Amino acid sequence: MLVKQASLSESARLLALEDGGLMTTAFDKDLDGLTSLVSHTLKVPVALISLVDQHRQFFKSQCGLPEPWASRRETPLSHSFCQHVVVSGEPFIVNDARVHPLVLDNLATPDIGVIAYAGVPIIGADDYVLGSLCAIDTVPREWKPSDIELLRAFSLQVSTYTQLHARSIRLAKELAQAKGRAAERQATVRFNVHDLRTPLAAMLSAMDLVGMLGPLSPDQARILAMGKRNGTELVNLVNDMLDIDGVEQRGEAALDRAPVESRKLVTRALDQVRALACANGVSLSEEQGSAPPLVMADENKIVRVLVNLLANGIKFTKKDGEVSVRTHGGQDGMVHFAVTDTGIGIAEGADIFEEGVRIDEHASSSQSSGLGLAYCKRIVKAHGGQIDFTSNPGQGSVFTFSLPADDRNSSSQ
């Protein structure tokens, strides 16, 4: 393996050590097993995985090192043989440190008892030598070529470990930064979307005032009605985005549940979509029993669910088509709602309850936001219910959802 030769203080090499967090991490049982294996195989009292910066050597793993060095996990460079492996990029072999010209004055000999030393490079992700895998004896020793080859083989495993570890740390940092940027963008979008409601409300109020200024020609009335209708759609879109964002921020929907008649929910929803149905030439109908069941629900949020389902049916149903809503209590302790339309239908397998997925993939953003059904799913699920649909492309769809019935349904029977 080709390595980049560098001094101990080379900034790129130090950055490789820092980015990987290699000199601040705890002992690793896998690496401890490897140093133990080196000690046993080469029959030496001490084996180390030593990482070296410009001031110290840090023992990522050790076997047999005496105290207090084993607990300290480091020494200054005055006690380091491994620094020579880093600087040369080659194995450093010492048979007797007391007579070797590079280390005869090294304090590791009198303080730690290092007499014989054999160390091979540990290579980081950027091909810099980060440290050494070394075997140490307390007596003079003639190292065999097979000893060095065995150390090389083990060092490849250590090098792979350090490279993967550094890469995982780097990816974790990049992921954290990406999440931070995403959160910042999301907050900016959320604030901007929230602020959209003020000019939209002002625009709709101005349109109401225009209608009060005096008689309008048929064309003026039609254009004004179209403007109000589109403005209302924009408000609904903004509300969808804010509601879904609110659910995501909390992790689940915050519900204000109370007993409410299913008929009231349907009536409120139908009132909100009648103008849209009239403009599109679509008829609305409802079907409920004489004693409409009570549900335990957040009234405003379930009305929004019904409005979304009804509005979708109206938008994608041709003129003279029909959208209906049916409610009935079941034997399963749930109240079931069904919104049926005679619209374009939905392709089989479409995952339309996921955010950004539209009923009609060719529809413009003014026809479908891709948010409403995601909101419906989250709200119904938060209530403990289920939502689903069946469809025949070109003939229409049926959206069904269920909500827990209020206990007073059974007591009133």
**Six-digit token pair at 293?**
């069941």
Global confidence as pTM: 0.49
The pLDDT of 24-33, averaged and rounded, is 77
Band (pLDDT 50/70/90 cuts) for residue 240 is low
Q: Where are the beta strands (DSSP E) in 316-386?
A: 322-329, 334-341
> What size, in residues, is the chain?
413
Q: How far lies 403's CA from each of 268, 269, 382, 385, in Å?
A: 17, 16, 10, 5
Q: How far apart are CA 374 and CA 356, in angstroms?
A: 8
Its sign, for the CA torsion 381, 383, 386, 392, is negative
Helix (H) or strand (E) holding 396, with range, is strand 396-404
**Six-digit token pair at 196?**
């959209």
CB 316 within 8 A of CB 344: yes
pLDDT tens per residue across span 184-230? 776 676 666 666 766 777 777 777 777 777 788 888 888 787 777 77
Q: How far lies 192's CA from each of 120, 198, 242, 251, in Å?
A: 59, 11, 10, 21
Q: What is the structure's pLDDT at 288? A: 76
Other beta carbons within 10 Å of 195: 11
Q: How far apart are CA 309 and CA 316, in angstroms?
A: 11
Band (pLDDT 50/70/90 cuts) for residue 366 is very low
